[in-house]
Amino acid sequence: MKKKKIEDMSPRTTKNASAPAHYALLRRRPLKSLDCYALLKSRLQSGRKPKSLGVMKKQARSAFDQISLSDHCKSIICGTLLGDGCLQLTKGCEAARLSIRHSQVQREYFDWKVANLKEIASPKSVQISKASGARANTKLLFQSASLPELTLMYNLTYKKKRLCIRRRWLNKLTPLSLAIWWCDDGSIIGHKRTPRRGVLCTDGFDEKSVRMLARYLEKVWALKAHVGAIRRDRFYGNYTKKEYFRLWFSTKELKKWLRIILPHIPVASMVYKTRLIYKDSQFQQRWISETLLAQPQFSNEIEELYSLPKKKAKH
């Protein structure tokens, strides 16, 4: 079998004969790895001489680890990107910034994020948007400072201004990241008396991305999530022709998921997202005990969450 002829990437193959070969490589973008492309782009923009592709691919694998932010901060950012946050790199800005939006109802959770993202915050990071028109609740907004570290994260996680679901950065998710994702977009649904099915609202992703998330959860966390389509308006709940895809957990898989994230639920106001109800009192008590063991700091909230409603006194 004849070997395929390797394309000549020398300067004479480019339109501008004086341009380095790596600029032709960047313009054609033949690299399958978004990380490697981002690394090449950053080296060219900074005026440094690009290394060989083999070396850059090895560097790209550890590019995320080399971002000079704490692991705790990066875990929160990654979980938030899958949930209610996004990285933005707009024209006129030298670097990217992180934007997070929550309702006033989630004030405690929002304040926790702000307190734990101080290393990327600015004096004017927190803003409040008053309720108006279709917005029923006051909105809380966090916008970080524009930082080169966030630009690196943007290049590793975004493509054409959209979050790109790729294993290269999904592999950096921690149990805290999963807990943030669940607090942002997860919920337990089912019958009012026995809600024991979980769902992650991944409406912002296409089917291919959601299926990749499902494969990631199965390979890395041994969790089987079903990808299901719905035709429901994201804001008003009525039927719509547009199709959204979500991740669904059975009762068994939901318990496995909750056992991973339980110790990392950040605030008391989010404990309700771990509430499982059983008809069998023994099963119920076991789950309550397991929850108390994983979250002893929220013992009062857990006991109140599972307490039976008080019977009205007869007159």
Instruction: Quick: pLDDT tens for 179-196.
Output: 999 999 999 987 666 667
Q: Which position has the higher pLDDT, 206 or 129?
A: 206
Distance CA 60, CA 37 (A): 9
Whether the predicted model's global pTM rises above the 0.75 cut: yes
Distance CA 285, CA 277 (A): 10
Q: What is the mean pLDDT of residues 71-98?
A: 92
Q: According to the CATH classification, is domain 176-296 in 3.40.50.12160? A: no
Residues of the chain with CATH 3.10.28.10: 71-153, 176-296
Assess contact for 198 and 254: CB atoms under 8 A.
yes
Distance CA 137, CA 132 (A): 8
pLDDT at 65: 84
Query: Which one, of 254, 223, 229, lies nearest residue 241 by Cα?
Result: 229
pLDDT at 91: 80
Tokens of 87: 């990285």
Q: Please, which residues have CB within 8 angstroms of residue 260's CB and are 6 or more apart in sequence?
A: 175, 178, 221, 223
- The residues with which 197 forms a beta bridge, in sequence order, are 189
Distance CA 104, CA 137 (A): 6
- The residues with which 301 forms a beta bridge, in sequence order, are none
Identify the architecture of domain 71-153 in CATH: Roll (3.10)
Q: What is the mean pLDDT of residues 154-168?
A: 92
Model confidence pLDDT, tens digit, residues 26-63: 444 433 444 555 555 555 555 555 555 555 555 555 68
pLDDT-derived band at 134, boundaries 50, 70, 90? low
